[in-house]
Structure 1
Amino acid sequence: MSAVLCDDRLQLWPASEVARGEVPEPHRGPLGEILRWSREFLMSSHPELGRTGPVCPYTAPSLRKDLYFLGVPVDDGSGVDLPSMVAQLRDWHGRLSADLSQEDQELLALLVVLPDLDHEDSTELDELQRKAKDEFVADGLMIGQFHPVCPEPGLWSRTFRPLRSPSPLLAVRRLLVFDLPFLESEAHLAQYLRRFAATIPARMRDQLVSRLTHSGVDAA
């Protein structure tokens, strides 16, 4: 059985096919585990979240419209070239977005499961994500890393760890106006302003003013 979407670096399946077991047997366990985690954790509230609602408000509508894709890298026998695979993710997101409405483009999510990475040390995954992020943001995309021991806290609670998943994975979606807190560098901020300056909500404007103010103080 071949993937619905496949190239020399990456295989992707819509969540509906993963749920029905319509993926090659070696990938059913890892992909099924992440799909269950998506439904049971990301779509649920959590007492440590620090706000009401699900951990990720976009997961349920993405799954409902079958815009939630799960994938694995291709190993041609010589090992997996992870940086090249990550670069391919940008291309696949663009292809899948091309014929979608603006609303559906914001719901399109690609999750690549990396079960062979170290489950007790996120250093390799963190570095992979960090090196890729500049190019993704420049293309109007967000790339995030999830890992069993990911130390990143939540936005609303410093004790909550929303990026902990059963297996290491990378997730790609459209850059949204509410992503300002996840953009660390001045280059990221410049890309954000180019895309959203005219439509930034009041809450985001307050955060932006605070960041620019503190940046000016630091520079002085």
Structure 2
Amino acid sequence: MITHPGDPSLRLIEVADLDAPSPPPEVLAHGDAMRAVVDWAGTYLCRPHPELGRNGPVCPYAQGSLSRNRFYLAVPRAGEAVETVEDVAAAMEPYRAWFTALAPLDGPEAVFTAILLLLPGLGDRLALIDGAQNALKDAFVEEGLMIGEFHDGPPDKPGLWNPLLRPLAGPVPLLAIRHMVATDLPFLWGDPAHRRAYLTRFGGRVPAHLREIVMEAVMEGVE
């Protein structure tokens, strides 16, 4: 378990904590949900999917995150309300600054670090997850971070290579933070502010297979 240096109530659970002889209180309260997410990461994110539309695992970085012990789990703090979109966004917000301190962009573990905030008590109020992700995305992207939503709805966002696939399905409602990577361009190009944030960070390092998107936008006069 990692405790925030400035706020002892803010803690991150490591995968090893799930089987510790004396687990943290968060594991005692939400261990089943945490184990379900770790199992999902290993059996879904880390493996190829027949409907994905490309080779390789669903998430290219998940196995590295697990192997390097950089796959961090969290739950809302005791007494923290999660009844509205604003509540869910407020529960996630403190992890934004902490993430950049835990995983500086120039560090060797940067792209393998992820924080997942689990909200196992949401029940069927899955729209709160989608709404919070939408509300937070601008601020996260501006700092070079990606925030994703996962739940068993699943979120109505198609796969990049197969529009019929809904790849953000997960066993527990959660929001996840990771660093932006060069291949995130298709997720960001439709919004001018997100596009600027991406180009500021990657500039001429756009992957070859995505450069056509940039060239088409230039030809069309996109800002």
TM-score of the pair, normalised by structure 2: 0.86
Structure 2 residue runs without a partner (length 5+): none
Whether 2:16 is the aligned partner of 1:50: answer: no
Whether the 8 Å CA contact 2:3–2:9 is kept in 1: the answer is: no
Is the counterpart of residue 12 in structure 1 residue 12 in structure 2? yes
Paired letter, 2:50: P
Amino acid at match of 2:171: P
Counterpart of 1:164, as a letter, is A
Any idea what SS the aligned residue of 1:111 has?
Answer: strand
1:9: how far off?
6.5
Q: Determine helix, strand or coil for the equivalent of 2:168.
A: coil
1:158 counterpart letter in structure 2: P
Number of residue pairs the alignment of both structures matches: 212
Give 3-state SS (helix, strand or coil) of 1:115's partner: coil
Cα deviation 1:137-160 (Å, max 9, x = unaligned): 011100000010122111111121
Paired with 1:135 and 1:48, the residues of 2 have a C-alpha distance of: 32
Aligned-residue offset at 1:193: 0.8
Are 1:152 and 2:163 an aligned pair?
no
Match of residue 108 from structure 2: 103
Alpha-carbon offset, residue 95 of structure 1: 1.9
* Other structure's SS at 1:172 match: strand
- Asked if 1 retains the 8 angstrom alpha-carbon contact of 2:89 and 2:133, the reply is no
Question: Which consecutive unaligned segments of at least 5 residues does structure 1 have?
Answer: none
Write the distance in 1 (CA, Å) between the matches of 2:40 and 2:20: 16
2:67 pairs with 64, 68, 80, which one? 64
**Does residue 39 of structure 1 match 2:15?**
no
Aligned counterparts of 2:70 and 2:91: Cα–Cα separation in 1: 20
Q: How do 1:147-186 and structure 2 match up within 5 A?
A: 147-149=151-153, 150-183=155-188, 184-186=190-192
The aligned counterpart of 1:79 is 81
- Separation in 1, partners of 2:78, 2:29: 13
- Paired amino acid for 1:48: E
Q: CA RMSD in A?
A: 2.2
Distance 1:59 1:161 in 2: 18
Deviation at 1:212, TM superposition (A): 4.2
After superposition, the Cα gap between the structure-2 partners of 1:215 and 1:171, relative to the gap in structure 1 and judged at 3 Å, is: farther
The percentage of aligned residue pairs carrying the same residue is: 35
Which amino acid in 2 is paired with 1:67? R
Q: CA deviation at 1:213?
A: 4.1
